[in-house]
Structure 1
């Protein structure tokens, strides 16, 4: 799990909640620390992450879902009151989120929110209207015929900023653009039942937008590609890592919250 200044990030698989292992990037040291006095330089943690491979346990499932797990519990002093994260996949901004360093120091991001595509438009009195809801799209590593499309890999990047506060803003979901050619798919799981649950904020950043506090880079590759690049020996076990107790606890809390919310909706519908 990459760690910088006490901030931890990892990629978690839906397969038994196991974690994708990371290997130091061949063109950089495991952790690269750069002075913050130099403009446009950031502190970068760069790793290579294997995707699903034909001979791994994961290849039996067509497209394994993944999400990002973050933890700022051990963030070094002076601790910022807020931390703001921006997720990029192959250079394209996918989603953003923020968290309070004391009230919620850990969590996970499992999907991105988008402006609904044309499939959600509706017709009334011979006129077609655009649906103004919010479309949900989770993250998946794609597989075609049991083989990863991302043999040449891709890049998942997370930029972390310190923030001193936030203000509510109007919902501004972006237009969805597919990344199938990079071995990533984000299928629609429908519209949010209540779009108001999606909170949008304007963040008061401490760090400049072009100079984040730190940047995490995950260069995902297939197992075969890692071996051909001599990043792992041919005998390296092609398995995912076991989850930590904190990850299992977080997932349990998430499931309980989802069940509680579903029960509340059922109760309201019966009234």
Structure 2
């Protein structure tokens, strides 16, 4: 077995923020990087920088101006799978198989709009339905699998800056937390973030652009996650977030998270 590091980052436009992606890859050098919200069609994905740094294996599920996911890797990727859980053409899920036989799935779950009510806000219903279809998918997985990405849900009280203030705000409502728990139970997924950084320690991966000083106010949420099926837990050795990235030039409102594995 060899050390393999897997990173995940909602970059909020890979072309607009290619400079900080390069900075991250040069400084942290993960073996694999899963990107969400790439906002670029597959044919226009900026491959040159990645290939220059040794990321020769690039799989994209892209869309013009919206959504989009990609996996860039120093190791070969096989068995590419793309899923459209809403049957509406949105590019939100791509999966591959690593040389070790481990599956890696990268997902960008819909944010769900501003009103946590299916009747008043169709986007919220779409989010719940997206997760419902992922629960069906998760329930029949047969291989060791890593699921990562922007889940757009902060499930624990210590995953948000204020449970009291946010319990009726989309991303931290009871109905979202409940359906995410059903997804987690469908394959007995291990939440690696909380396995290595246990609650009630605060842990955030997103800070709003609206904050004048995001670091001082620290009104964060843990919207980004990395899960693994139980058969991979003993192969995971560390998990961390790269919080300084939130202060880099033209930052994403999300930061990268990185897990180290042996396989």
Flag whether TM exceeds 0.5 (same fold).
Answer: no
- Smaller-chain TM-score bracket: under 0.3
User: Could you say which structure has the greater relative contact order, defined with CA pairs below 8 angstroms and 6 or more residues apart?
Assistant: 1
* Higher relative strand content: 1
* TM-score of the two chains, using structure 2 as the length reference: 0.27
